[in-house]
Structure 1
Amino acid sequence: MLRHALALAALALPLPALAQALTPAEQTAIDQAVTATLKETGVPSAQVAVVRGGQIVLDKAWGKASERIPVANEKLPYQIASNSKQFLAALLLLLEDDGKLSLDDTVAKWLPDVSGAERMTVRQLLSHTSGLQDFWPQDYLFSDMTKPTQPQGIVDRWAKKPLDYAPGTRMQYSNTGYVVAGLIAEKAGGKPLWQQFDERLFTPLGIKPHKLDETNGPAFPEGYHRAALGPVRAATPPARGWLWAAGELSMTAAELAKWDIARMNRTLLPREDWEEMETPVRLADGTASGYGLGVTKHQVKGRTVVDHGGESVGFLSQSSTWIDDKVAVVVLTNADFAGVPDSLTDKIAEVVLPKAMQADIGEAARDEDARATLAELTAGKLDPARYTANARFYFTAQTLGDYAQSLSPLGTPQEVKALGKPRLRGGFVNRNFALSYKDGQKLVLITYAEPGEKGRWEQFIVMPR
């Protein structure tokens, strides 16, 4: 009842309170992180948008956008490349809602000339499980990309090759699959892809992205490259047509943040579509592929994150959404080296995410105590006074014997490293540890104990990591 009351109270708060504007200290921390990272890496510029409480609370650019634009600003569209994939996945889900196609249609229904089309589904195109060979696995401009191409040209050259694997049996990133999916979207929707994007997604969202090919010019940010530790140089962009459907959008960080807000609020698309997009597709053997439809969904430090990255020649992007926390971080850079979007996303997230999960509860780490207790169990010994009744019940003679027989050959762990801070749960203090042994064996120790430095162990479980 209290939880529901608190939720209703939060909904009654005025929007500025929910938005949780950045404090001066938080703004300074982000500014210092971006400035230092650009200086350390040589990346010319970064554009950052931060969402908190479901609203944009930071929209800013740092550095140099190009040789002609010496000062970057937040209104310039950057190439988001593969972050575009989630927009195509969303469009295809809407077309499915319209009854114009099914994600479980075979590709043969739409493009029968594609290799394995009769065994491959639209869903597998979007989840990178189709078996189609990726036409651009390289992190550089290869020679053919200096000449313009068309979607059909990519299909003819790469989507008609023998499959790399049987559809649905593996996950292997494939830009080719998204080009095929884009052509299917045009056939099913009966309109050019960009027109459908604009009508179904961009206009309702209130954003005005550019086609990536149109932003390879003097009025837009310029991409940069670096060979090893050499000088940072302007990169030669690809000819027109190479990023179609697989990564064809350029937009500002704030525009991509508006998309993330729609995701966290479950607007623009039906809630079921967002959830379907974020659910990792399972392979034929039942294992999760780790990839949904245009995005990944995974756990980072106990929080669920939906994210994706993007790379074009001279540009990198990262968009991450913590749906439960109503937080999103978008980082765009005009450099395809140093991995700055990933590192800055981590640094900014540390600043803007709620701190409750990281709160100090005033409990000692007990690293040495955990090491000593582990040594006793490895030797087949157990001091009943050090354990609660529940833990004594768990450590039967057989369980204690299994611990000793399986752990003693490993010897003493080289490292017993705490995983995060102690936290309360169920009246006990939870402490987890990573265990590393000299033969490369890695285990995890999950403990619960009564509060206090001498609190008895309620749980002391070792398992594979």
Structure 2
Amino acid sequence: MSTERMQRQTLRMTLLRHAMVISMLFLAEPSVAASRSPESAPGTVDRAAVRTQDRTARIDTALAPFVASGDFMGVVAYRYDGQAPVIRSYGLAQVELGVRHRPDGIFGIGSISKQVTAVAVLLLEQDGALAVDDPVARYLPEFKPDDDIRIEQLLVHTAGVADIYDLESFGRSGGAVGRFAEVIDELAARPLTHAPGTTYAYSNGGYAVLAAVIERVSGMTYAEFTERRIAKPLGLRTLRQIGPDARTGRVSGYDPHGIDGLQPARRPATAFLVGSGSLETDAEDLLAWTSAIHSGRLLSASAYGRFTRDHGHAYGYGISVFRRFDRPAIGHDGRVAGFSSDAVRYPDDGLSVVVLGNVQSVARDDIRRIVAAAALDVEIDAGVPPADLRPVPASIELEALEGAFGFGPNLTVYIDVRDREVFARANRGAETQLVYRGDGRWFSRVLYATVRFGRDADGRVDRLIWGEAEDAPAGLRLAEGP
């Protein structure tokens, strides 16, 4: 066994031991005890404290399987307006050294950054420096001047700008090396995916262009603008753009590997994330941001109305607009190498809920439902990690699975096999490992999705089926090899 694989195996075993111990510890130690408030009469119990204790115990119990499986480590929190935040931490901030999470750990928040970018644009509009229906070329004349792309189309993902993860420069280095100006130049050189304003297509590239507009109009870097105009006025001490230097409190990020293991994530260069996913913060500041922006801070009533309006496809400006638990909700999730996150506002309840994880896994979707349901006293069937992940049998010919599978004109999924491990990659994006579940099924711990391989009459793999439902989308084989 190679030294690298031995280190990887040691890391997986360390994580599993710590996760099992931690899951037992936090279930035995509720964070809020039943107590008498100063105003309570002697012998009475503070009902609010008891309710909080019941909620956190419910969260602890439901999250335990995800912590034990290695699919979640991090901090979850909620706060009702006018009340103290409730913050719970689970697992390890630094696996190799066994460092436990603290409530004030700093995490990459991925695409939650988009709502900050959108607010930055609206602040410039309030300043009279731009209007969201202006053409982008007015401020970036070098960016596709022959295409009538409007700022609002970038905000709502209808501009047709290519995604960051489709850029050749990202593919060449795996996102490790890049300069922001060169990213914008490459986006300008790429053809549009559709005519502006005609189709919704989620694009991190569009938000990179918005960041470039912010920089050109304000005369500040994106990092400077978000700090001076957003973080400082709101008192958000930890919200800032991720930089190359070490930072006290920053947690390490991990990607799932194998059945129950983790491996250190390689963070993309910030140049590829500016505007779309480059910010980091802690739970208390993310709660404060979520409460403030939905409570009349920074934005005028008119600007806030456009920020949270459904402009189509349940999307506002950098934020999703939807219903959950039969009530309105406004928020966004985030996922970037080593991190998964979520921040949601329930406006009718005056409630903000956040999830910050240092494992890149869409197990986050189950986590966010669990935390919000507990905070709202709503009963749900909490999900659990799959219990049937297993080693790949020696009888399976993995090389037969390799190939390119087309799911449409703009999406190709590549399957690659290395050292009897199977990996999937969409377009030029990052890989996700597929772990065997049995009966021809494979599971991505990153995407929390099951896939299957279909075969033709001769038994050859001819399609990749994404999901377990009968009508799950299928991609037909395009070519041999990735």
How much does 1:137 deviate? 6.1
The 8 Å contact of residues 71 and 256 in structure 2, kept in 1 or not, is answered as: no
Shift of 1:44: 5.4
Superposed CA offset, 1:378-422 (max 9, x none) = xxxxxxxxxxxxxxxxxxxxxxxxxxxxxxxxxxxxxxxxxxxxx
In structure 1, the residue matched to 2:133 is 104
Report the CA distance between 1:230 and its aligned residue: 6.1
The answer (yes or no) to whether the contact 1:46–1:334 under 8 Å persists in 2 is yes
Say if 1:56 and 1:350 are closer, same or farther in 2 by CA, change over 3 A.
same
Paired with 2:341 and 2:347, the residues of 1 have a C-alpha distance of 19
CA displacement at 1:354 relative to structure 2: 5.4
1:13 maps to none
1:245-284 to structure 2, matched below 5 A, reads 245-281=275-311
TM-score between both structures, scaled by the size of structure 1: 0.66
Rate the CA distance shift 1:75–1:230 in 2: closer, same or farther, 3 A.
Answer: closer
Q: What is residue 183 of structure 2 aligned with on the other side?
A: 154
Letter in structure 2 aligned against 1:261:
S
Q: Is the 8 A contact 1:112 1:118 kept in 2?
A: no
Percent of aligned positions that are identical: 28
Paired amino acid for 1:74: P
Partner amino acid, structure 1, of 2:306: E
1:340 CA drift (Å): 2.6
Aligned equivalent of 2:204: 175
- Given that 1:304 and 1:323 are in contact with CA atoms closer than 8 Å, whether structure 2 keeps it comes out as yes
Q: Say whether residues 1:193 and 2:222 are aligned partners.
A: yes
- Amino acid of the structure 2 residue aligned with 1:280: D
> 1:239 aligns to what?
269
Change (3 A) 1:152 1:38: same
Q: Which amino acid aligns with 1:263?
A: I
Paired with 2:60 and 2:289, the residues of 1 have a C-alpha distance of: 24
Change (3 A) 1:205 1:291: same
Aligned match of 1:295? 319
Q: Deviations over 1:283-336 (max 9, x none)?
A: xxxxx2321111010112321010101111111101111011111110011111
Contact 2:123/2:298 (<8 A) preserved: no
Q: In 2, distance between residues paired with 1:213 and 1:52? A: 32
Q: Is the 8 A contact 2:252 2:338 kept in 1?
A: yes
Query: Aligned equivalents of 1:20 and 1:276: distance in 2?
Result: 36
Q: Is the 8 A contact 1:54 1:327 kept in 2?
A: no
- The answer to whether the Cα contact below 8 Å between 1:68 and 1:218 also exists between their aligned partners in 2 is no
1:31 pairs with 2:60: yes
Q: Which amino acid aligns with 2:262?
A: V
1:130 touches 1:177 (CA, 8 Å); kept in 2?
yes
Structure with the greater alpha carbon radius of gyration:
1
Distance 2:377 2:176 in 1: 48
Q: CA shift at 1:118, angstroms? A: 4.1
CA contact (8 A) 1:44 1:64 kept: no
Instruction: Give the Cα separation in 2 of the matches to 1:241 and 1:69.
Output: 31
C-alpha deviation, 1:220, in angstroms: 2.5
Report the secondary structure of 1:293's partner residue. Answer: coil
Structure 1 distance, partners of 2:161, 2:136, is 12
Equivalent position to 1:207, from 232, 236, 249: 236
- d(CA) in 2 for partners of 1:53 and 1:276? 23
Preserved CA contact (<8 Å) 2:160 2:195: yes
SS at match of 1:245: coil
Q: Does 1:220 align with 2:244?
A: no
1:311 aligns with 2:335: yes
How far off its partner does 1:94 sit? 0.8
Distance in 2 separating the partners of 1:309 and 1:147: 23
Structure 2 segments unaligned to the other structure (5+ residues): 1-46, 381-469, 472-482
1:79-124 deviation line (CA, Å, top 9, x unaligned):
0011011011001101101100001110110112223664110111
Greater share of helix residues, 1 or 2? 1
In 2, the alpha carbon distance for the partners of 1:269 and 1:33 equals 37
Partner residue, 1:89? 118
In structure 2, which of residues 372, 394, 410 is the aligned counterpart of residue 349 of structure 1? 372
Aligned-partner SS, 2:56: helix
Deviations 1:234-267 (A, max 9, x none): 1222234221121111100111110111133222
1:113 partner amino acid: E
Q: 1:293/1:32 Cα in 2 relative to 1: closer, same or farther (>3 Å)?
A: same
Mean Cα displacement is larger for which, 152-161 or 231-240?
231-240
Cα separation, partners in 2 of 1:185 and 1:33, compared to 1, 3 Å? same
Pair 1:50 & 2:74 matched: no
- The 2-side partners of 1:256 and 1:201 are apart by 12
4+ residue segments displaced more than 4 Å: 19-22, 215-219
Distance 2:228 2:48 in 1: 32
Alignment partner, residue 160 of structure 2: 131
Amino acid at match of 2:315: Y
Q: What is the identity, as a one-letter code, of the residue corresponding to 1:128?
A: H
Structure 1 unaligned segments of length 5 or more: list them: 1-18, 282-287, 359-438, 441-465
In the alignment, the residues of structure 2 paired with residue 72 and residue 192 of structure 1 have an alpha-carbon distance, to the nearest angstrom, of 32
Determine helix, strand or coil for the equivalent of 2:294. helix
Which secondary structure does the structure 1 equivalent of 2:60 belong to? helix
Distance 1:240 1:345, change over 3 A: closer
- Check whether the contact 1:170–1:289 (CA below 8 A) recurs between aligned residues: no
Q: Give the distance between the partners of 2:282 and 2:65, measured in 1 at CA.
A: 22
CA contact (8 A) 1:216 1:222 kept: no
Secondary structure of the residue aligned to 1:241 is: helix
Q: How far apart are the structure 2 equivalents of 1:330 and 1:104? A: 32
SS of residue in 1 equivalent to 2:201 = coil
